[in-house]
Structure 1
């Protein structure tokens, strides 16, 4: 029955999603030209709020929990598991005051209205996985901006989406580079649950009536830890949250 409603509601979702990113594309350009970084950022925040609203067209719900008292005077590296492309708008919007930038694959930086524009002009590190030198250079550029501008960053260390919600092993590389170049960074894990259910049938139909959640977990102070140990701690904390929830809900 849910799949049946998915066939009915998915075209409406995609129509609204497409209209939003198409409308915001020239608005982003205008905000960047007239308002610089701050103007562009406010536009991107509004864009992601509108994208969040489309989730409810499917009857899906979003729960974002942040009980942590996160600092504003130092950069933060948010490390999250990755279940679908729909992981991203809640992260951008609900953590907007931290100026988080994504480490993203370069393919997304072209061809997608609004989204590609933001990746190219909003400070993201757009990496080419086939070119290690380019990838390192992009991450180093982001790290330098984190130090100079007190920006934060989001990284999905699994590398690719976990299509069944089961967490894949975390990669150390990008995290290690940022830890080395931004010594005062604070590492904050985020557990994402059930967003994979939204795309359990693929891009069409989308799965409706899905309860999705994002939870900011206890920060980890990286001082005194090597990158491998730190990433292992982050992975364990996220896995515990995600797997406990999976056993409890069994959607």
Structure 2
């Protein structure tokens, strides 16, 4: 019975999800060309709100534990574990005051209504994982952008989604964070612990797992001053691991 419910509710959600992407793709184009970047950002924020709250159609629940004390007058580098394509939307919506811009693989810049357009227009670092030099240049550009604007960057240092059934993390890679810090030396590094998204879509988009529980927890910031990038990334991974129960503290 539960499996049948997964298929039925997944079908309902995916019809809704596809409609949201198409409608907000059009809204983004109109906003960007007709009203400018700020209007485009608002359309992206609301697209991701609709994506996130749409999960209630599957009986699932989301919890976002924010930190309202995070500064708005300096750039932030959000460092998160990566379980699913659904990790992203709540970060965009609930942290919208920080204007999060993502480090993303370049393949996502085309072919996905709403999502691809935003990646191209938001200033995201679109990296070719087969071309390290290109990736460094793109991430450095993003670092310079957040330093100039006091916006935020979001990076998943695992490099790809974890396939562990327990959600246990892959080792965090330092290079991307190090490049961001080099170009955004005043940035605060803030870990985000993501739980439950992998079990929500363990086999891709269909079927989803109905009545899932997913959470995002923004953890205390890490001041990079006086630390090497390796130490900062290690501290971020340990903080996320402790929150998720993988590291004893």
TM range (shorter): over 0.9
Residue 137 (structure 1) aligns with: 137
The residue matched to 2:245 in structure 1 has which SS?
helix
Deviates most, 11-20 or 65-74: 65-74
**Which structure 2 segments of 5+ residues have no match?**
none
- Distance in 2 (CA, whole Å) between partners of 1:243 and 1:109 is 34
TM-score (norm 1): 0.95
**Which structure 1 segments of 5+ residues have no match?**
246-251
Q: 4+ runs of 1 displaced by more than 3 Å? A: none
Contact 1:110/1:116 (<8 A) preserved: yes
- Distance in 1 (CA, whole Å) between partners of 2:112 and 2:175 is 27
CA RMSD of aligned residues (A): 1.3
- Distance in 1 (CA, whole Å) between partners of 2:20 and 2:67 is 31
Structure 1 pair 81–172 and aligned structure 2 pair: CA distance change class (3 A):
same
- Distance in 2 (CA, whole Å) between partners of 1:201 and 1:81 is 19
- Distance in 1 (CA, whole Å) between partners of 2:61 and 2:157 is 25
Contact 1:2/1:209 (<8 A) preserved: no
Residue 191 (structure 2) aligns with: 189
Residue 109 (structure 1) aligns with: 109
Deviations 1:97-118 (A, max 9, x none): 0011000000001000000000
The equivalences for 1:1-251 within 5 A come to 1-163=1-163, 164=165, 165-243=167-245
Instruction: Report how far residue 244 of structure 1 moved.
Output: 6.0
TM-score (norm 2): 0.95
Instruction: Report how far residue 68 of structure 1 moved.
Output: 5.0
- Distance in 2 (CA, whole Å) between partners of 1:201 and 1:51 is 19
The residue matched to 1:51 in structure 2 has which SS?
helix
